[in-house]
Amino acid sequence: MIIGAGQAAIQAVISLRQMNYQGNIKIIGEEPFLPYQRPPLSKKFLAGQLDKNRLFIRSKNFYQRQEIELLLNSKVASIDPKNQNILTEDGNSLNYSKLLIATGSRARELKVPGINLSGIHYLRNINNVQTIQNQMVAGNKLVIIGAGYIGLEVASVAVKLGLDVTILETESRVMNRVVASEISNFFELIHKRAGVKFKFKQKVEGFAGDTSLKEVLCSGGKRYAADLCIIGIGNLPNQEIAAQSGINYENGILVDEYCQTSEENIFSAGDCTNHPNKLIGMNLRLESVHNAIEQGKTSASSITGTKNAYNQIPWFWSDQYDLKLQIVGLSQGYNELIIRGNPKSKSFSGFYMKNRKILAVDAINKPREFMLAKKLISAGVEIDPEKIADSTTDFKFLAEQALKRGI
């Protein structure tokens, strides 16, 4: 039994069948759609460049061929670990031998006066996007709350469609939590050149309008006219069903390196988990496709009785205009940032270093350096920062030499 119908859940199903798991598989999903990818929602799907059917991870025929039962438009009300039973909100009682919780995450909500006015949106699922698209009309004033991945990706789509776009951010720069100021400044400049306006150090205190949104109200009496607003202020793990069932949780469902929860026959994978990472040396809760896929594989192995520990360097990506930002590793604790290449070329990388080791890399239109950086970070080898900074030196050569020394 799998609760959740996202990337982690479907990867687990694919891996289970590849491992010749012969048991019955049921997937319980809250939405009416076939399991689908979420990253394109704020990119090509929002822009109208991707048909809804192309979001689906697998076709309906796949589930039929693999004898997988999809229980869509259904929500789990409770789990009884002792009796290995779940109860859905519509009254179905279902037994399981093994249970995988892959409930993902949800948008963090903004709780201020006027939040229920029409025209205020979160962007988390297909229905959200389809509602937003009806208001993505050239000339309309769009206010985006939050200058993270979602906010910037939406802005890059909206401004190209002719909307008047303003981003409100509580911090002093874009993507403040995930990239250095040098990278932030680059992306802010790109957006400003496209016509996006930024208002930093802004705390949203409410919304004004009769039945539909007219203004976004901020501290200090500042008001921003808006025909629609999209809120992107982070996500929260969907851990409640585990918490109610006595499964250990703390900023996500706690699992070990095998995706095992505190209950013997219950596993968890994806955005909803808080898991150990030996390569990083800390527990993490990650919101990424890569993490969902790899934990889906790990949980499938554990369900079939094979122990394959999850131990991956995290990586993420964001598409904005003609820029692909690929981030590998976690930059916390770095004491030196090396910029390799010229930002004016829109193709460069930022290397976060500590004691001659790479902790993380932000690669902008540099897929080759991104791939090599993954190997270097995983290996934990030393490399000369000055040589990284010299963009006339072939980076593949530098990486190969560093990896040889580290063997």
DSSP of 93-113: EEE-SSEEE---EEEPPP--T
- Asked if residues 295 and 8 have their Cβ atoms less than 8 Å apart, the reply is yes
Q: Bridge-partner residues for 254, per DSSP?
A: 274
Q: How far apart are CA 72 and CA 28, in angstroms?
A: 6
CA torsion angle for 338, 344, 347, 353 (degrees, to 10)?
A: 10
3-state helix, strand, coil in the chain (%, to 5): 30, 30, 40
| Tens-binned pLDDT, residue by residue, of the chain (407 aa) | 999 999 999 999 999 999 999 999 999 999 999 999 999 999 999 999 999 999 999 999 999 999 999 999 999 999 999 999 999 999 999 999 999 999 999 999 999 999 999 999 999 999 999 999 999 999 999 999 999 999 999 999 999 999 999 999 999 999 999 999 999 999 999 999 999 999 999 999 999 999 999 999 999 999 999 999 999 999 999 999 999 999 999 999 999 999 999 999 999 999 999 999 988 889 999 999 999 999 999 999 999 999 899 989 999 999 999 999 999 999 999 999 999 999 999 999 999 999 999 999 999 999 999 999 999 999 999 999 999 999 999 999 999 999 988 74
Task: Give me the residue label for tokens 């020394």.
Answer: 405
Backbone angles phi, psi at 374, to 5 degrees: -55, -45
Q: How far apart are CA 215 and CA 221, in angstroms?
A: 12
Residue 252, sorted as left (phi over 0), alpha (psi -120 to 50) or beta, turns out to be left
Backbone angles phi, psi at 239, to 5 degrees: -110, 0
Give residue 170's identity as a one-letter amino acid code: T
> Hey, CA dihedral for 30, 34, 37, 43, is it positive or negative?
negative
